[in-house]
Amino acid sequence: SQTPEALAEDIDYLGKLWSALRERMGDARVGTRVYEDLPLALRALRDLMRPTIEKVRVDSRETLDRIQDFAVQFMPDLADRLEHYPGERPIFDLYGIEDEIQRALKKDVPLKSGGYLIVDQTEAMTTIDVNTGSYLGTRNLEETVYRTNLEAAQSAARQLRLRNLGGIIIIDFIDMVDEEHKRQVIRQLEKSLARDHAKTTVYDMSPLGLVEMTRKRTTESLERQLCEPCPACSGRGSIKTAETVTYEIFREITRAVRQFDAEKLLVLATPDVVARILDEDSTAVAELEEFIGKTIRFQPEEHYAQEQFDVVLL
């Protein structure tokens, strides 16, 4: 839900946008674009600028001129809060933005109490697991769990905004016995979500300490915008071990010799895989050579990925 003031601001903006659009349509020729979504800087100003924000600092004079023109036309009450940052130090360094982005891309989120969150984004949903870590509390286990969960509720709400996570979200709080503690944790989560610009819905905590909630999707999450699937694991988050790749190579060799004639074989693989084969599986290689009646040679390739290998028939 939004405040009446926020709704009034949106209505006022849309009204001015429609007036400007009608003017463009009146003068536009056939095939002329009369509207397109705003560039990033203007979208940020439109979506994030609120009366509570003291100022917006911009290090590009060109970008500042563009957003000032936009603000004068559509958000005149906020135009005087825009200012140029002329410093030599990069503005991202000044405010620690790079560090914040790196932290927002990690799975683990430390809590001040010593506990931590694990944020895992999948296609179906996002899960947030709460752990006590080294936090022992001051009274007893129930108090420790309660305090950790309260802090986790605040942190989880902030992470949802920072990472722009949407859709179905499951928060796995640490199990609590006291029903009042459970209610307080849910209240804390709802209170922390109140400042979120995206619509959120929180459901009651299950007997296992799981809280289901939804957050309206707007744009892609931070991770999807800034990252791409790992070329080594294709987004799985793990790669096959050298042992697993070794056995895949042995199976590929037996397949290859049945299909093609060759006097000997050359196997190209990563140095780790080749080293393991020659060290721990040298006996298996000798048995395989005897079985297929051919010599097998191994060549390490530094540029190969862990799961990559080639069997060349010579």
**pLDDT tens-digit profile of 253-306?**
999 988 888 889 999 999 999 999 999 999 999 999 999 999 999 999 999 999
**pTM score, two decimals?**
0.73
Which of 48, 46, 75, 45 has the alpha carbon at shortest distance from 58? 45
**pLDDT tens-digit profile of 110-157?**
999 888 999 999 888 999 999 987 655 556 788 889 999 999 999 999
**pLDDT tens-digit profile of 61-79?**
999 999 999 888 888 888 8
Q: What are phi and psi of 24, to 5 degrees?
A: -65, -40
Task: Indicate if 133 and 198 belong to the same structural domain.
Answer: yes
Average pLDDT over all residues of the chain: 89
Sequence-ordered list of residues with C-beta below 8 angstroms from that of 18, at least 6 positions apart, any chain = none
Task: Indicate if 262 and 292 belong to the same structural domain.
Answer: yes
Task: Indicate if 103 and 220 belong to the same structural domain.
Answer: yes
Question: What is the DSSP-derived secondary structure letter of residue 59?
Answer: S
Is residue 265 domain-resident?
Answer: yes
Q: Compute CA distances 122 → 22, 193, 224, 238, 310, whole Å.
A: 42, 22, 11, 14, 32
Residues in the chain: 314
Confidence (pLDDT) at 85: 94
Higher pLDDT, 164 or 219: 164
Domain total of the chain: 3
Whole-number Å distance between alpha carbons of 231 and 308:
11
Q: Compute CA distances 57 → 52, 85, 94, 179, 258, whole Å.
A: 15, 6, 11, 46, 68
Confidence (pLDDT) at 11: 86
Task: Indicate if 198 and 141 belong to the same structural domain.
Answer: yes
Task: Indicate if 133 and 178 belong to the same structural domain.
Answer: yes
Last residue of a domain, one of 174, 194, 226: 226
Is residue 138 domain-resident?
Answer: yes
Cβ-contact 303, 243 below 8 angstroms: no
Q: Which residue reads 């509720």 in tokens?
A: 153
Confidence (pLDDT) at 134: 64
Confidence (pLDDT) at 137: 52
Query: Half-sphere exposure of 76 toward its Cβ, with a 13 Å CA cutoff?
Result: 3
> Which domain, by its residues, includes 30?
4-94
Radius of gyration of the chain (CA): 29
Task: Indicate if 105 and 213 belong to the same structural domain.
Answer: yes
Whole-number Å distance between alpha carbons of 212 and 278:
51
